[in-house]
Structure 1
Amino acid sequence: MNFARQLQSEGAVKVEVEQTADAPIERLFELLDFSAPGNAFRERGFLFLQEPVGCMGRFRATNPVNPDIVYVFDVIDFQWPSSISLETRFESDEPLSAVIKNRRDYTLTSTGPDSCRINLVERSWLKSGLSHKSVRMEHAMRTLSVQLHITRLCVHAALGVDEADKLFP
């Protein structure tokens, strides 16, 4: 079951979602681990770029569908297989949205040999100068985005990337 809460704290939009996955905790964590061959973005066809020596925990990737955007993922915390935290930002010639960067904190709990619970807290920092209405709209869009992300992740873990792509094109 999904639930979402949204708050504005520390200057960020905060969304929290929790869901049960019909997959082992190790598989779900592998989808989140950028260094794993079974990472969700790798399985979806994203191309990972080489980082200079000394950039431990930083991963940069492009989506072949939209190669002008570089996704930059900085892993902040890594506790296999129970938690991972990362910051994400985008490198692009054009502004993509009102979101400057976000931080995702995932917590996984095994509920059986083939199931686990995943909790995601996402904080998104927005560009300054937005109207109150625009901030409310960003709250709503972030909530939907986080819910879709966690649902896609759980489907991917349980049924594979092809099924997730069918449901979430």
Structure 2
Amino acid sequence: MGCDVVGIAGGPEKCAFILDHGCSAAIDYKTDDIGAMLDQLRPDGIDLYFDNVGGETLEACFERLRMNARIVLCGSISEYTRDVPFKLSNYTRLRATDSVMRGFFVYNHLDRWEEVMDDLSGWMADGRLTPVQDVEEGFAAMPRALANLYYGANVGVQCCSVRGEPQEWL
């Protein structure tokens, strides 16, 4: 879509993976200072941040918003196992930069499902999008598939096949 993307991933293998799949730069959240890396990689700030993490990563991005930036809240994996919720202390950066933050939940956009599926399938057909899935097989593997998310064991979308998906979809 013409974006220059900095990806944030955990570990050198995942950082190499996102660099091989379209990101122009990668930040390893396990070893890098996210804020310092964003300052280096995006000295003029961030126009769009798609958040699946929440917590300290979201806070670091808040500090680096450009005017009229957008934040999309899709997930908050860093929050799911905390005893005390992370308290975002710098939300006023939205006001200072005249930026917006919106939630995103796919089921709130079912009216666009066909349009989006047509776009995605077209991008897959012409090679601009390569789906990556980590598949655990069988109903008994569901706990492991869920644990993979929390331990960062997956690289692609974590799935659990309980009925045997056709192999051409994987």
TM-score of Structure 1 vs Structure 2, range by shorter chain: under 0.3
Structure that is richer in helix per residue:
2
Identify which of structures 1 and 2 has the higher relative contact order when contacts are C-alpha pairs closer than 8 Å and 6+ apart. Answer: 1
- TM-score normalised by L of structure 2: 0.24
- TM-score normalised by L of structure 1: 0.24
Higher-Rg structure is: 2
